[in-house]
A and B are shown apart, each in its own frame.
Chain A
Amino acid sequence: MKNIVVAGNGMVGYKFCEKLLARHREGLTDGGQFSLTVFGEEPRPAYDRVHLSAYFSGTSADALAMAPASWYTDNSIDLRTSQCITHVDRDAKTVTTHTGQVVAYDTLVMATGSAPFVPPVPGIQKDGIFVYRTIEDLEAMLAWGKRATRAVVIGGGLLGLEAAKAALDMGLETHVVEFAPRLMPRQLDEAGGAMLRQKMEALGIRVHLSKNTAEFEGYDRVTGLRFADGSVLETDMVVISAGIKPRDELARQIGLAVGPRGGILVNDLLQTSDPAIYAIGECALHNSMIYGLVAPGYDMADIVATQLLTGTSAKTFAGFDMSTKLKLIGVDVASFGDPFCEQIPHRTIVWEDRLAGVYKRLNITEDGKHLLGGILVGDAEAYNMLLQTCKNRMVLPPTPEDMLLPTRKGDTSSAGSGVMALPDEATVCSCEAITKGTICTAVTEKDATDILAIKKCTKAGTGCGGCVPMLNDLITETLKAQGKIVRKVLCEHFDLTRQELYDLVRINGQTTYADVLAQYGKGCGCEVCKPAVASVLASVHNQLVAKQAVIQDTNDRYLANIQRGGTYSVVPRIAGGEITADKLIVLGEVAKKYNLYCKITGGQRIDLFGARVDQLPYIWEELIDAGFESGHAYGKSLRTVKSCVGSTWCRFGVQDSVAFAVELENRYKGLRSPHKLKSGVSGCARECAEAQSKDFGIIATEKGWNLYVCGNGGVTPRHAQLLATDIDRETCIRYLDRFLMFYIKTAEPLQRTAPWLDKLEGGMAYLKSVVIDDVLGMNEQFEREMDYAVATYQCEWKSVVNDEDLRSQYRHFVNASDTDDTLAFVPNGRGQQQPANW
């Protein structure tokens, strides 16, 4: 039995225990058993210090724990918290704690971590000055922060900005003071630091650079900081986060070798100058480096655990890549490889977009062939790809600047081919350490051709999920490389994409599903291809969908939205959200007569719920008589054009947004498309109509209108992107005609405009060239087709109400006039009814 003692129960100390158990379970052992005793000076078991600031936004200490106390007991680990090792007898091989506990060891692992570096500034002992490291520190900060109004964080590095976030979360006016002339001086260059500063200041954090604190002012409580330049920053709270200092005092005391500036010296096996004692994590000094990040600490923990169990030195520590990507207060920051290249001859490529707050820098060898390192601020999406390119010394494309340009996710021309250029041993999923080779083999040999299958088969993508876009690219590209055509065909009945089918129907003029199936498909069809073909037929011919009710999707079958319980809801069009008092009264009367639940929708109209299928034609008859028409809330078609009152009423408005919204809604109403279309028109830059979250949104300017396209809310909200600036009404409508017809023609079934744009090769630049510059030469046709759709519009409900055959379909039983007796409503407690629970 080998006694292993761990000094320190932080993240790395914990990871050592976890790795030791895992390696033991894998059978990776020379047969010997071990006992594990862990000493931690903090009162609680190891917790996630990296996410400490989450404690301020309400995450409990328990939730931060790496593992509950029971985990240690369950795994026969003797965890002794609130115990500080004060002495080690290296000859007798025992450790002694401050309370006098003595434990013998065969191997001692020092994982004592680090302490905050506290600069020796006069007044540092005053009340209201805190360090930021433990949960106890945080609790003290929280208690003090309740009475404070302003917090000054000393240190503009990674940890300092984390602390600043904590101060922001506490509701304090937050300042960051940095000695260096820029934020994050270890990771960022001047321009990158400036971009980060701009982002931080936009979030309300004030940044003071090149400031050397000379003294803390105040009697016994801190009242301010006096800087070396004589200036003073008043404050009632200070958080020090100016770096770390390895906890090597015990090592020094027992005579282990330490570095001149601190840190326990270790070799590649992570042994200290005493071979029975190891040091891992932030207390270890390897090759003149202290690693203040968690990933290298974990790597060290694994190496020592493996060594101890196998008794060999097969795995050694060879330094660690300090490339990092993190989200600081919502801002992506990454640096990789050699971000500065101060010593190496190199060339630099820089991309800077101050408007969007994006800065990217690549350092490239002088011959332009290899990537040496770089910095990303504001947009770090390319990080994985760039890191792999750098680590694997891949040969760069002839125009390496393309790697910096804002690429779009679906733009396979750049990202996709890049993925395939990776060597097989490149790690794609770093959480599970899965290489590109493993993934490609799973695709080719195990037939794992979608992301779910890949996850199941290789475990890649099951951790943080950050590699999933890369995995998707790998699957697609591997299939392509095998000569398998990656084509999104409709379903088993049609070996055609929606776009192919659309073109065929337009050219050959089929008007029914039966004809389309007979010509191009096989079998009886299904719930996927029927609505897709129905949508194509409706887009091309603008026929009444009710004439082919049985191929329509759920809501289109009865031109109403099916709801729980089997009833439907009714949404009349209220163009632009503008409605007269008389019409409001009609809605109220109809709702009352049929006992319908009423709710205002997000699209500025009124939804009436609880109509039985047989009631629908009667309700619509009354609404149509009062001048209403279908709102197409049930259709994959234009829903609403939301508007603010604009210049007609609003003192800020610069254009008549309601009139334009009404005009657009009436122009595009009834237009069938691959998915629903939502729109908004705002009368000024304040954007009250939220036009930038719509499939097409228009915002008034002093000179005309700005047109945005391809935004949406929903599961993955997307801001619309600017297509054209300061255009007049007519131009805006022409651009919209072209944009909409291009989308309708080329999108996949049920693909909204934002994902459609993602998949559009060339992205927004290409879309502009189609819509504005007419590179396809299709615009005349697009406009003609749109004019046809507008001219042939009919209110679907009016057609149904006036057609006895169509109307007769609205009944529950075809052989009885009874209604469905299973329908049941219950009061909702607020004066209306709702369906009984299902």
Chain B
Amino acid sequence: MVTEFETTETLSWHVAAPVSAFPADGGACVKIGERQIAVFNFSHTGEWYACQNMCPHKMQMILSRGLTGDQNGEPKVACPYHKKTFSLCTGENLNGDDYRIETYPVRVEAGMVYIGL
């Protein structure tokens, strides 16, 4: 879906929202341009992750509302619809399906969350 952003050379950082907009150990959706991005605040580990908001299984804009967690240490999100789970590092589906999601780098500076697209 967003293949033109595959390389980091063209990365540009976009303001998402203040840290306070994101629930601890949960996700929220931000709009950057016309794009919906799911952002996850793993306050348990202090890490942040971002990915496409659309679940590729049924093309629903929903991943930000999914339950987060880890599988053997790998951070993941589970789609609320059918519990398809995706790695937030690699974007790979962890149930063994062929689906993949785009993931994006996140930077937190001075209480503000930025997404690299």
Residues on A close to B: CB < 8 A?
Answer: 492-493, 513-514, 517, 523-527, 529-531, 549-551, 553-554, 557-558, 562, 564-566, 809, 812-816, 818, 820, 822, 838
> Could you give 28 example pairs across A and B, Cβ below 8 Å?
A492-B72, A514-B44, A523-B69, A524-B25, A524-B44, A524-B75, A525-B25, A525-B69, A530-B67, A550-B23, A550-B24, A550-B26, A550-B27, A553-B67, A557-B65, A564-B58, A809-B23, A813-B29, A814-B21, A814-B30, A815-B16, A815-B21, A816-B31, A818-B31, A820-B61, A822-B61, A838-B59, A838-B60
Contact A562 B80 (CB under 8 A): yes
The reply on B96 being an interface residue by CB < 8 A is no
Residues of A within 8 A of B5 (CB): none
The 6 A-B residue pairs whose C-beta atoms are closest, nearest first, are A550-B26, A526-B69, A527-B78, A554-B80, A527-B67, A815-B17
B109 to chain A, nearest CB (A): 16
| Bound Cα distance A513, B17 (Å) | 26
Query: Within the complex, what minimum Cβ distance (angstroms) separates A585 from chain B?
Result: 33
Contacts of B16 in A (CB 8 A): 815
- Contact flag A492-B24 (CB < 8 Å), given A524-B42, A566-B60: no
A814 to B22, CA, bound (A): 8
Interface size class of B (residues with CB under 8 A): 35 or more
B2 smallest CB distance to A (angstroms) = 15
Q: How far is the CB of B40 from chain A (nearest CB, A)?
A: 10
Asked whether any CB of chain A lies closer than 8 Å to the CB of B73, the reply is: yes
Chain A residues near B58 (CB, 8 Å)?
564, 838
Type the 1/0 row for B18-55, where 1 means its CB is closer than 8 Å to any CB of A.
00011111111111000010000010110000000000
Of B29, B42, B72, which one neighbours A814 at CB under 8 angstroms? Answer: B29
A549 CA to B25 CA, complexed, in Å: 10
Please measure, in the bound complex, the distance between the C-alpha atom of A557 and the C-alpha atom of B76, giving whole angstroms.
Answer: 18
Distance (whole angstroms) from the CB of A204 to the closest CB of chain B: 45
- B61 in contact with A550 (CB, 8 Å): no
* Chain B neighbourhood of A838, CB < 8 A: 58-60
Number of A-B contacts (CB under 8 A): 94
A817 to B76, CA, bound (A): 27
From the candidates B27, B61, B78, B81, name the one contacting A526 in the complex (CB within 8 A).
B78
Q: Of A524, A527, A820, A822, which one neighbours B85 at CB under 8 angstroms?
A: A527
- What is the CB-to-nearest-CB distance from A538 to chain B, in angstroms, rounded to a whole number? 16
Contacts of A513 in B (CB 8 A): 25
Complex: how many Å from CA A496 to CA B79? 25
* In contact, B67 and A492 (Cβ under 8 angstroms): no
| B91 interface hit (Cβ, 8 Å) | no
Which residues in window 63-111 of B have CB below 8 A to A?
65-73, 75-76, 78, 80-81, 83, 85
Q: In the complex, A257→B34 CA distance in Å?
A: 90
Which chain A residue has the least Cβ–Cβ distance from B15?
A815
A526 and B71 contacting across the interface, CB-CB below 8 Å: yes
Report B-chain residues with C-beta under 8 Å of the C-beta of A557. 65, 80
Alpha-carbon distance A551/B68, docked complex (angstroms): 8
CA distance A164 to B57 in the complex (A): 50
- Shortest C-beta distance, B89 to chain A (Å), equals 13
Q: Which residues of B contact A549 (CB under 8 A)?
A: 23, 26
Expressed in whole angstroms, the minimum distance between the Cβ of A689 and any Cβ of chain B is 33
Let me know if A566 and B71 touch, CB within 8 A: no
Residues of chain B with a CB closer than 8 A to A812's CB = 29
With a CB–CB cut-off of 8 A, which chain A residues contact B78? 526-527
Q: Which residues of B contact A820 (CB under 8 A)?
A: 36, 61
Q: Is the CB of B30 within 8 A of A815?
A: yes
Q: A530-B69, A551-B67, A815-B17 are in contact. List 16 more A-B contacts (CB 8 A).
A: A514-B25, A523-B70, A524-B25, A524-B44, A524-B75, A526-B76, A526-B78, A527-B67, A527-B83, A550-B26, A550-B27, A562-B80, A566-B62, A814-B30, A820-B61, A838-B59
